[in-house]
Structure 1
Amino acid sequence: MTTIKMIPAAAEVILKLRNDTKDKVMRRINSKTDRKDFMSHFLRQTNESGISHDEMVSNAGLFIVAGSETSATLLSGMTYYLLKNPEYLAKLKEEIRSSFNGVEDMTFAKEIKLPYLQACIEEGLRIYSPVPVELPRRTPPEGAVINGELIPGNTSVGVSHFCCFHSAKNFKDPDSYRPERWLGDPAYANDDLNGVQPFSMGARNCIGKNLAYAEIRSMICRLLWNFDIELCPESADWKDQKVYFLWEKSPLMVKLTART
């Protein structure tokens, strides 16, 4: 937060988000409703674990950002790279349109069984990771040995997703969108696919991982079932972006034509 304070515009936006979140959390606490939602779990922990209102606000703010911006980023990036590679788009569209009888036939259980869709999503997460920076962890007080090096205790450590996912040491054609690398293509046999961990690993990995996969599968299936899409000329270089903690995205201009 110290760094954010040095950027007045960013600090102003974050303060507004926190105030709006606090207002919503307090209204939910005071509503006394029996509705089952994220907040009902927080409220139960208030009695069992003593979670404070400030902690509720902090976590609610995290859910708002993590549960919306990341999914929107992946959908945008994946759409762009598919449009820049029409042969992959055509193959994915064929898989989706041959697997269902209509939108009403689409379920999470059926969507998860589409191998090419899953490969396109995994490659989207690799080449355009929604959180391209490191997700830091802190070493224990006694320190830890990481990659053969002794790291002092209470040290913040992490691996940059962008650097790892775009390293030629880990991937052939690292800056190219290639879903086949996730389908056993011999040309990519030496790729270190286990190095792609956009949701982090272990007990503290992203709790919304399964929801994110279900969400993106559902959106892509419905988009490509209902529409033919093409990239507008003004977005030809859309991927040329600045990145801080998240990508600084410009509008992705796409032409949608209703399927006949």
Structure 2
Amino acid sequence: MSTGLGEFLRSRRERLTPEAVGLPLGRRRRTPGLRREEIAELAGIGVDWYIRLEQGRAVRPSVATIDALAAALRLDDAERTHLAVLAHQTARPPFVRETVPPAVKRLIEGLDRPAYATGRRWDVLAWNDAACELFTDFGACAAEDRNILVYLLLDPATRRLFGRGWAVMARRTVAQFRAAHDVFAGDPAFTGLAARLAAHSPEFTAWWEDHDISVGRGSGQKTLHHPSRGVVTYDFANFQTNDDDAVRLTLFAPTG
């Protein structure tokens, strides 16, 4: 079993306080969060068994145990789903960058509104001219830079474009990437990207250590501070392709 499960459990245990789960404060605590034995008691499982889970040892919890741990750790729906995936994951083949079907690629390129397609790693797999004009020229980027996380966290112009909304959006995207990263635990395609981002973005490093998990939003609005258009607001929506549910299509349209 990968250490992803253990790291996730530990991160969620350390963010809890005795008050949050109705436990007395007791003696002074040297480390943040609850103790392992407290989580085990709240979940109704053995302490040794819980310790083995945090250590990433070969233990496969039942659905009932996952539900009990999720309740003890006060997990939301996205975190509970992530816990179940980590607990039952099996060895995966090495990650291979997704391919956008030719028909979908032609549809994207033919749209007069900004559109692009991304994969599990947030690689930008297809785009159109309108997306390049609104965001950045993906076609002119090196292949390794053609990635939403790289664009958001390592390109200074992106912060100016998204203004005050940048931090919320960037953190949410990191939380979505974390969910995929943990499923592909140890895969160089994911660990390498995470290491690159950590080396150049202090915000990424801080958010990464929180182990936040997000499934993202299907639709919403983004307000941009465009260098030539000024302040503009766009509606956006995300769709998965039937050919490969890892390929996500994002479409934009100006409001009003």
- TM-score w.r.t. the length of structure 2 is 0.21
- Larger strand fraction of residues: 2
